[in-house]
Structure 1
Amino acid sequence: MSDDDGGRKNLRMPDEDEVFAEVTDMLGANRVRVRCADGKERTARIPGRMQKRIWIREDDVVLVEPWDWQDEKADVVWRYEKSEADQLREEGHIE
C-alpha cells in the first residue's frame, strides 16, 4: 500500500485575514513581490522563522496576511508545494 495514491490532501486554507498569492518577483532583503487573489500586487515580507527552513522562489503559491495599516504590504505565512498548488488550482481556489 503506497502513500502516494493520488488522493486529495488536506491543505492549509486561508484564515479570514489571509489570501492566496503567487510570487512574481524576488526583491532581496527577505522580501518578495506577490500578486494576490484579491487582485492587488503587494510587497510581502518573509518572516525570520521561514527564512532558513523554507525556500521561496518565483511562481510559488503562498498564503499572505495583508497588513491592517498598509494595504500594499503583507507577511508570507505559508508556502505550498508544487503538488499542493496544483491541487488548489484543480479545486478552483486559485487561478
Structure 2
Amino acid sequence: MSDDDLPEGVRAPEDDEQFAEVVEMLGANRIKVRCADGQERTARIPGRMRKRDWIREGDLVLISPWDWQEEKADVEYRYDNRDAEQLREGGYVAEGV
C-alpha cells in the first residue's frame, strides 16, 4: 500500500507493519490486538508512547510483529478516531480489525 492510496495526512504502514485493533488491555504496558492477518498478538506499548498516546480498547493501531516470536508485536502508531473512520470507510482496514 502506498501513501497515494490512503486519505491525505494519514500514516501508511511500512513493509513490516500492519493494522490492528486493540481487543483488551493487559496491564504492564501490554495489550492484546487483533491483526489484519487474522492473528491475535500480545503487543507492547513502547516508552515513547506510554504517556503521550493513550491507547484504549477499540483503537486502531499500527503494529510491527516480532521476527523471532510471531505471537508478539510492538505498537508503532495509534490512529485518532477521525483517521480510523476514514480508513475503515475507505476499505483500507478489513471489518473486524
Query: 1-side partners of 2:16 and 2:10: how far apart?
Result: 17
SS at match of 2:20: strand
Number of the residue aligned with 2:4: none
Output the TM-score relative to the length of structure 1.
0.90
Show CA shifts across 1:46-75 (max 9, x none).
000000101000000000000000000000
Deviant stretches of 4+, over 4 Å? none
- 1:25 Cα deviation (Å)? 0.0
- 1:91 Cα deviation (Å)? 1.2
In structure 1, what residue type is equivalent to 2:13? P
Number of the residue aligned with 1:66: 65
Number of the residue aligned with 1:43: 42
Number of the residue aligned with 2:83: 84
Query: 1-side partners of 2:8 and 2:77: how far apart?
Result: 16
SS at match of 2:73: strand
Number of the residue aligned with 2:56: 57
In structure 1, what residue type is equivalent to 2:52? R
- Give the alignment's Cα RMSD to 1 decimal: 0.8
SS at match of 1:69: coil
Gaps of 5+ in 2: 1-6
Output the TM-score relative to the length of structure 2.
0.88
The percent identity for this pair of structures is 66
The number of residue pairs the alignment matches comes to 88
Number of the residue aligned with 1:20: 19
In structure 2, what residue type is equivalent to 1:59? G
Gaps of 5+ in 1: 1-7
SS at match of 1:85: helix
